[in-house]
Amino acid sequence: MVRSFVLPLLAAAGIVSAATLPRDNVDCTGVNAISPKCRSNEVKYTRDVYYVGGRLISTATGNITADQLYVEKLTPTCGVKHPNPLVFFHGGAVSGVTWLNTPDGRKGFASHFIEKGYQVYLLDHTGVGRSSQEATSEYTLWNSTGVESVQAGFTAPELNPTYPQATLHTQWPGTGQKGDPYFDQFSKGVIPFTSNWTMGELSMRASGCKLLSLIGPSYLISHSSGAQYPILLSNDCPDLVAGNINLEHSTQPFWNYGSALNSGSSIRPWGLANTPLTYDPPVTNSSELSKEWDGEDTLAKRRCYIQTEPARKLPQIAKVPYLCTTGEASVHATYDHCVINYLNQAGVKTDWIKLGEVGIHGNGHFGHLELNNLEIASVVEQWIQYQDRQKR
Ligand SMILES: *[C@@H]1O[C@H](CO)[C@@H](O)[C@H](O)[C@H]1NC(C)=O
Ligand SMILES: *[C@@H]1O[C@H](CO)[C@@H](O)[C@H](O)[C@H]1NC(C)=O
Ligand SMILES: *[C@@H]1O[C@H](CO)[C@@H](O)[C@H](O)[C@H]1NC(C)=O
Ligand SMILES: *[C@@H]1O[C@H](CO)[C@@H](O)[C@H](O)[C@H]1NC(C)=O
C-alpha cells in the first residue's frame, strides 16, 4: 500500500490516475474543479492537433494563411473499434470545447464516444476559437452572444417562456442563470464568431472536404448552426459522409425565426445555405428558387418556407443518411420540422427523433451538455450502429 502523501506525486508523474486522489473537503463545483485535487470524469485518449486546408493571401507585410481549420484528433487508448470516424461541428457562439467535459464536470459527448471505441475529431469552425481569422479576409465578427440571451434562449427558457414547450425544460444543471457556477462556466465559453456566413461557409466547404479526404468517410455530428456545414459537405463530397447527424439543426429554410409570430429575417437564400447547393433541375442564381409559406404560424409550431411545386430536388444531399434530434423543451421543437419538410420535399429521406417521444424528457437547446446528455448520445450511437449494419 502506497502511503497517501506519495499519491499526488505519482499522479503528477501519470503513475496513478487523478481519480484516486482524496476529494474530502474539496469544493469541485464549476470552475473550482480546475484544482488538481478534483478528479476528471473524462476518459483516456491521446490527442493530436492539426491545421487542415487554408490558403495564402499576399499582403504588404508578407503572405498570411487564411481559412485554415483547427482539428483535434482524439484516439481511444483502448483502440478504435468502428470503421468510420466521428467529426463534431459545434454550434454558433461556442467552440469545439462544447463536446468535452460539461460545465458541471460530467462526461461530454467526446468522452462518451471515445469510451465506445470511436475515433473522434473536434473542430473549431473557421473564424472561431483556434481557427480565428485575419480581418483582411472578410471574417467580420459578431459581438459575443449576451449572457441574458443565453439564459432566455438556452439555459433557463422556462423562466420567461416565449414558446409553450419551454415550460417543460428541466435538464439544465443548476439554475441556468448568472451567478450559478455551472451557468458561469458555460457562458464564459460563449465567444464571437463570424457574422459573414458566406465567408464561413466557403471556407468550411473547402477545408471540410479536405479533412474528410484525409480521414475517409465519417459521420458528421453537429449542433445548431454547426449543421450548416455538414449539409454543404453532403452536397460537395457525399461519398465522404457516412451520415449527417444534427442535434437541433439550424438550417431553417430561407429564414431565421424571431420569437414573435410572423417575425424573423431572411437568410440562407439557397434554402438550407447561404452559398450554392446542387439542385435538380439546376439553379445558377438563388432567385430562381420559388418558395411559399406553408402552415399557420403559432408559437408552438412555426410556419415554414417550402418550394413552390414542382419542387427541385437535392440529389447530392439525398445520397447521405440524415438524422435530426430535437429536445422536448427547446425552441427548436417549434421549427425543426421546417428543415425536415424542406428536405423531404426535395427528395431527401430523413430520420427525425423527437426526444420526448422516445422517453427523453425536458431538454433545451444544449441537450448535449444537460443532465441526461448521455441518453441523447446513446440515441445517436444507436442510429450510427443501424447505419453501419445497413452497409454490411
Ligand atoms: C507571397 O508569396 C508569393 C508566391 O511565393 C510571392 O510572389 C510574393 O512575393 C509573396 N508576398 C510577399 C509580400 O512576400
Ligand atoms: C459590440 O460591443 C461594443 C462594445 O459595447 C459596442 O460598441 C458595439 O456597438 C457592439 N457591436 C455590435 C455589432 O453590436
Ligand atoms: C463576406 O464574404 C464574402 C466572400 O469572401 C465577400 O465577398 C463579402 O464581401 C463579405 N461580406 C462582408 C460584409 O464582409
Ligand atoms: C440573381 O438574380 C437577381 C434577381 O434577378 C439579380 O438581382 C442578381 O444580380 C443575380 N445575381 C447574380 C450573381 O447574377
pLDDT digits (tens, 9 = 90+) for 311-326: 999 999 999 999 999 9
Using the mean position of ligand 2's atoms as its centre, give its distance from the Cα of residue 152 in Å.
20
What band does 25 get if pLDDT is binned at 50, 70 and 90?
confident
Using the mean position of ligand 2's atoms as its centre, give its distance from the Cα of residue 142 in Å.
9
What band does 131 get if pLDDT is binned at 50, 70 and 90?
very high
pLDDT of residue 165: 98
Using the mean position of ligand 3's atoms as its centre, give its distance from the Cα of residue 138 in Å.
5
**What residue ranges line ligand 4, CB within 6 angstroms?**
285, 287
Mean of pLDDT values over 197-226: 96
- Asked if 170 and 361 count as a contact pair (C-beta separation under 8 A), the reply is yes
- Asked if 240 and 217 count as a contact pair (C-beta separation under 8 A), the reply is yes
Per the listing, cell 468517410 goes with 217
138 lines ligand 3 (CB under 6 A): yes
Which domains does the chain show, CATH number per domain?
4-34 (no CATH), 45-391 (3.40.50.1820)
Using the mean position of ligand 1's atoms as its centre, give its distance from the Cα of residue 63 in Å.
6
Active site residue 40: no
Q: What are phi and psi of 70, to 5 degrees?
A: -80, 125
Question: In this structure, which ligand is nearest to the CA of 195?
Answer: 3
Per the listing, cell 421546417 goes with 338
> pLDDT, tens digit, for every residue of 352-369?
999 999 999 999 999 999
pLDDT of residue 359: 98
Residues 6+ apart with CB under 8 A from 383: 243, 245, 323, 351, 353
Task: Give the ligand 4 atom nearest the CA of 285.
Answer: 1
The chain-wide mean pLDDT, for the chain, equals 92
Question: For 25-45, b where at least 16 C-beta lie within 10 A, e where not — what string?
Answer: eeeeebeebeeebbbeebbeb
pLDDT of residue 145: 85
Residue to probe by mutation, ligand 1, list 58, 59, 136, most atoms within 8 Å of CB: 58
The pairing of beta strand 255-257 with beta strand 241-247: unpaired
C-alpha cell at 191: 465567444
What band does 142 get if pLDDT is binned at 50, 70 and 90?
confident
Of 15-19, 235-239, 287-291, which gets the smallest average pLDDT? 15-19
pLDDT of residue 138: 74
CA distances from 282 to 114, 276, 279, 289, 315 (A): 41, 10, 5, 10, 10
CB-hemisphere CA count at 13 Å for 379?
25
Residue 212 CB neighbour total at 10 angstroms: 23
C-alpha cell at 2: 502506497
The candidate with the shortest Cα–Cα distance to 125, out of 187, 207, 62, 46, is 207
C-alpha cell at 307: 418550394
Using the mean position of ligand 3's atoms as its centre, give its distance from the Cα of residue 193 in Å.
14
Nearest CA to ligand 4 atom 13: 285
> pLDDT, tens digit, for every residue of 214-227?
999 999 999 999 99
Which residues lie across from 187 on neighbouring strands?
A: none
Name the DSSP letter for residue 359: T
Residue 20 has pLDDT above 50, yes or no: no
Task: Give the ligand 1 atom nearest the CA of 60.
Answer: 13
- Asked if 234 and 244 count as a contact pair (C-beta separation under 8 A), the reply is yes
Nearest CA to ligand 4 atom 11: 285
Task: Give the ligand 1 atom nearest the CA of 59.
Answer: 13
**What residue ranges line ligand 1, CB within 6 angstroms?**
58, 62-63
pLDDT of residue 132: 86
388 lines ligand 3 (CB under 6 A): no
Task: Give the ligand 4 atom nearest the CA of 287.
Answer: 2
What is the percent of the chain where pLDDT is above 90? 86
What is the percent of the chain where pLDDT is above 70? 93
3-state DSSP assignment of residue 341 = helix
What band does 392 get if pLDDT is binned at 50, 70 and 90?
confident
Residues 6+ apart with CB under 8 A from 222: 88, 89, 90, 91, 229, 230, 244, 245, 246, 247, 249
Question: In this structure, which ligand is nearest to the CA of 62?
Answer: 1
Q: From the candidates 111, 207, 222, 224, give the one annotated as an active-site residue.
A: 224
66 lines ligand 3 (CB under 6 A): no
E strand or H helix at 69, and its extent?
strand 69-76
Give me the sheet containing 45-52, strands edge to edge: 45-52, 69-76, 120-124, 86-89, 218-223, 241-247, 322-326, 351-354
Using the mean position of ligand 1's atoms as its centre, give its distance from the Cα of residue 57 in Å.
9
Question: In this structure, which ligand is nearest to the CA of 192?
Answer: 2
Question: In this structure, which ligand is nearest to the CA of 143?
Answer: 2
Whole-number Å distance between alpha carbons of 147 and 343: 34
